[in-house]
Amino acid sequence: MERLPWLRRGFAPVLCVLLVLLAQVADSYTQYIVNLALIYVVIGVGLNFLLGYAGQFAFAHAALMGIGAYTTALLTSRLYWSFWLCLPLSGVVAAALGALGALPAMRMKRVYLALVTLAFAQLVVWVLVNWNVVTLGTDGVDVPAPMLFGWRVKGDTSVFYVVLPCTALMYWLAKRILESRIGRAFVTIRENEIVARCNGINVARTKTVVFALSAFYAGIGGSLYALTLGFIVPDAFGLSQLVLHFSIVVLGGLLSLSGAAIGAVVLTALPELLRDLQALQEIIYGLVLMVVILVMPQGIAGLLKRWGVLPREVLARNWRALARETP
């Protein structure tokens, strides 16, 4: 693809058009899977900021997704707020809580941060289960279909037309952020905080930004997830959700934006492909995860980049123009 620039530039729009065409013919179930995959692109990209780029070993992503989902579900169903307000608000609420993760990240060693965020995640699920007065506990919450200019967003195809632009926008934003000095600061603190400080990077601020940003993506993803499922329960945001998020990022490729997207698609599709093998689903899932990581530690994206199928990712704007002018 590196040698075919037109293919690279046209790829994203063509993919969107293809997805829209697919939406015309797809049955409801296929469409639902597509929607889920798109949501997991947002989730995966969000986690990759934190885990891949900034190298922060934190485990709160599933819980933050749950916070986003519950913010939307509760405000729309119980207070009748507009979904269109709740969608960004879910991101902001998750970001505000997620930013708190920067506090332990500044003071503690890696494993401690892992445990504190894991403990936080357990506490969130516990609150969702036990604070029934507000969250309705294990009964779950119905999410009403939102209205858009008199059109009711109901059914998987309608939801798709909400999810696709959101995912596209979030992906584009992620690319723009990573290609700025902010993105480079993330990777620098992952690599060596001392170097970061000696180059004028405020480590505390950068960590706060990356925790908040990652959580914002989780919150938006959660809100869209609530819309897509139409009904959510606390258990959906527990450890298996977290394992899925980590699998997406690591299998797709840490330090790669397209990797998170590839991981999201593969890991949404894989369980569906294994549907008939219910009994073996976990075995194959676990095995695939282990084997893929052992065989290609850089993830699928790393392998595809080495083959020249995926374009290089350089965290600088317009670097291709520089490549053309410097021999």
Partner 1 sequence: MNLVTLLVAGLANGSLYALVALGLVLIYKTHDLVNFAHGEILMAGGFIGFTAYQTMHLPYPVAFLLAIALGGLLGAVIELVAFRRVADQHHITLAMVTVGLSVFMKGIARVPFGTDIYTFPPAFSADRITLGSAVIAPQHLLTIGIAALLTLLLFLFFRYTTLGKQMRATQQNITGARLVGINTGRVFSSTWSLAAALGAGAGVLAAPLSLLYPDMGTNFLLKGFAAAVLGGFESVPGAIIGGFLVGIIEMLFGGYVSTAFQQVSAFFIIIVILFIRPNGLFGRRAVARV
Partner 2 sequence: MNAPLLDARDVTVRFGGLIAVDAVSLAIPEREIRGLIGPNGAGKTTFFNAISGLVPHGGAALRFDGRDMLHLPAHRRAAAGMRRTFQSVQLVPQFTVLENVLVGMHTGIADNPAASVLGLPGGNRGELGAQRAVIEVLEFLGIGETLLQRVNQLTFAQQRYVEIARAIVGRPKLLMLDEPAAGLSPGDVKMLDALLRRLRDEWGMTILLVEHVLSLVLEISDRVTVLDNGRMIAEGSPAEVADDPAVKTAYLGNENV
Scored b (16 or more CB within 10 A) or e, 243-274 reads: ebbbbbbbbbbbbbbbbbbbbbbbbbebeeeb
- Who's near 258: CB < 8 A, 6+ residues apart? 252, 301, 310, 313
Residue 48 contact among partner 1, partner 2, none, beta carbon within 5 to 8 Å by kind: none
- β-pair partners for 142: 231
**Reduced to 3 states, what is the DSSP secondary structure of residue 318?**
coil
Binding mask 213-242 for partner 1 (x = CB under 8 A): --------------------------x---
Tokens representing 311? Answer: 């374009």
Q: Name the 3-class secondary structure at 81.
A: coil
Cβ 222 vs Cβ 42: under 8 Å: no
- Contact status: 255 vs partner 2 (CB under 8 A): yes
| Per-residue binding letters, 54-93, with partner 1 (x by CB under 8 A) | -x-x------------------------------------
Indicate which single residue of 92, 103, 145, 203 sits in contact with partner 2 (rule: CB under 8 A). 203
**How far is 250 from 293, CA to CA, in rounded Å?**
8
Q: How far apart are CA 177 and CA 65, in angstroms?
A: 21
Q: Taking the complex as a whole, how short is the minimal distance between the CB of residue 254 and partner 2, in angstroms?
A: 10
Q: Is 8 in the site for partner 2 (CB under 8 A)?
A: no
Instruction: Check residue 189 for interaction with partner 1 (CB under 8 A).
Output: no
82 binds partner 2 (CB under 8 A): no
Helix axes 257-273, 28-48, angle to 10 degrees: 140
According to the binding rule CB under 8 A, does residue 192 interact with partner 2?
yes
The reply on whether position 109 binds partner 1 by CB under 8 A is: yes
Q: Which chain residues interact with partner 2 by CB under 8 A?
A: 173, 176-177, 180-182, 184-185, 187-188, 191-192, 194-203, 255, 314-319, 322-323, 326-327
Q: Which chain residues interact with partner 1 by CB under 8 A?
A: 51, 55, 57, 103-104, 107-112, 114-116, 118-120, 122-123, 126, 130, 194, 239, 243, 246-247, 250, 254, 279-290, 293-294, 297
